[in-house]
């Protein structure tokens, strides 16, 4: 359960996600080239996610671990319309939508699982496109 502060912090993100559906974005995912030497330093910390469920914390930990791949994945939920957006990794930075977005979270889980399986960036992108594109 979210406390009032966390709920109010996530509320604008939910409104944006609700305004754009996956159907509206079909075929519109653009995958950027990952930046060299990228890491998960910008991913929100446990302290910044205080009040969110353990599952959300776990997803942020996953993204922190595979930041070098997440930086080369586009997001299919509408994040790309946000001015500071660059990649799926950006969704997990301050001001990103991932803390309350099932699509950002689903993509991150898929990326993490596929990295653990040893898949290449191109294979992971194809999986993202097939599921969310």
Please give the share of the chain, as a percent, with pLDDT higher than 90. 66
- Measured between alpha carbons, how far is 68 from 4 in angstroms, rounded to an integer? 34
What sign has the CA pseudo-torsion 75, 79, 81, 87? Answer: negative
31 conformational bin, left if phi > 0, alpha if psi -120 to 50, beta if neither: beta
Task: Specify the pLDDT at position 17.
Answer: 45
Per-residue model confidence as pLDDT tens digits over 15-38 = 444 444 444 444 578 999 999 999
Confidence of residue 5 (pLDDT cuts 50, 70, 90): low
What sign has the CA pseudo-torsion 57, 62, 67, 73? Answer: negative
Task: Specify the pLDDT at position 12.
Answer: 52
Domain range summary for the chain, segments of one domain joined by +: 4-132
Per-residue model confidence as pLDDT tens digits over 46-85 = 999 999 999 999 999 999 999 999 999 999 887 777 888 8
């Amino acid at each position: 359960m979210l406390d009032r502060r966390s709920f109010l912090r996530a509320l604008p993100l939910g409104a944006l996600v609700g305004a754009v559906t996956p159907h509206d974005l079909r075929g519109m995912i653009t995958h950027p080239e990952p930046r060299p030497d990228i890491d998960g330093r910008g991913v929100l910390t446990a302290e910044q996610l205080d009040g969110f469920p353990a599952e959300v914390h776990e997803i942020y930990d996953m993204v922190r671990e595979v930041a070098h791949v997440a930086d080369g994945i586009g997001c299919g939920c509408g994040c790309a319309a946000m001015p500071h957006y660059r990649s799926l990794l950006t969704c997990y930075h301050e001001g990103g939508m991932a803390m309350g977005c099932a699509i950002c979270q689903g993509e991150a889980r898929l990326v993490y699982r596929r990295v653990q399986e040893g898949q290449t960036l191109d294979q992971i992108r194809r999986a993202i496109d097939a599921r969310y594109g």
